[in-house]
A and B are shown apart, each in its own frame.
Chain A
Amino acid sequence: MAQLDSESINEVWRDIQQDFSAERKVIPILKEDLKAAIVALDTFLSNNASTINSAIPQPARSGLTTTQKAKLLSYVIYKRYIKEV
Chain B
Amino acid sequence: MAANDTLLEFSPRLAEIPLGGTFGASPYLRNDHPILVYDGTSAEYAYFTGVMPQHYAGGDVNVYLHIAYTDAVSGTGIFGASFQRIGDGIKSLDSTTDGGYVYAYIGANATSGYISIKPVSLLSFEIDDVAVGELFRLKVYRYADSGDDTAAGDAELNYIEMREV
Q: Using a CB–CB distance below 8 Å, which chain A residues touch chain B?
A: 10, 13-14, 17-18, 20-21, 24-34
Residues of A within 8 A of B73 (CB): 26-28
| Distance of A26 Cα from B70 Cα, bound (Å) | 7
> Does B72 sit within 8 A of A, measured CB to CB?
yes
Residues of A within 8 A of B72 (CB): 27
- Taking a contact as CB atoms under 8 Å apart, the answer to whether A17 and B153 are in contact is yes
Majority-rule SS of A interface residues: helix
- Taking a contact as CB atoms under 8 Å apart, the answer to whether B71 and A26 are in contact is yes
Interface string of B137-165 (1 = CB under 8 A from A): 00000000001011111100000000000
Residues of B within 8 A of A34 (CB): 152
- Taking a contact as CB atoms under 8 Å apart, the answer to whether B75 and A31 are in contact is yes
Q: A17-B40, A27-B71 are in contact. Are A32 and B112 (CB under 8 A)?
A: no
- Taking a contact as CB atoms under 8 Å apart, the answer to whether B75 and A18 are in contact is no
- Taking a contact as CB atoms under 8 Å apart, the answer to whether A17 and B75 are in contact is no
Which of A10, A24, A30 makes the CB contact (< 8 A) with B152?
A30
Q: Using a CB–CB distance below 8 Å, which chain B residues touch chain A?
A: 37, 39-42, 70-75, 112, 147, 149-154
Other 11 A-B pairs with CB < 8 A, given A14-B41, A17-B41: A13-B41, A14-B42, A18-B39, A20-B71, A21-B40, A21-B71, A21-B154, A28-B74, A30-B75, A31-B75, A31-B149
- Taking a contact as CB atoms under 8 Å apart, the answer to whether B112 and A26 are in contact is yes
Residues of B within 8 A of A18 (CB): 39-40, 154
- Taking a contact as CB atoms under 8 Å apart, the answer to whether B40 and A31 are in contact is yes
| Distance of A33 Cα from B74 Cα, bound (Å) | 12
| B24 CB → nearest A CB, Å | 15
| Distance of A32 Cα from B40 Cα, bound (Å) | 12
| Distance of A21 Cα from B142 Cα, bound (Å) | 16
Nearest A residue (CB) for B150: A30
| Distance of A18 Cα from B38 Cα, bound (Å) | 11
| Distance of A34 Cα from B154 Cα, bound (Å) | 14
Residues of B within 8 A of A10 (CB): 41
| Distance of A32 Cα from B30 Cα, bound (Å) | 26
Residues of B within 8 A of A24 (CB): 70-71
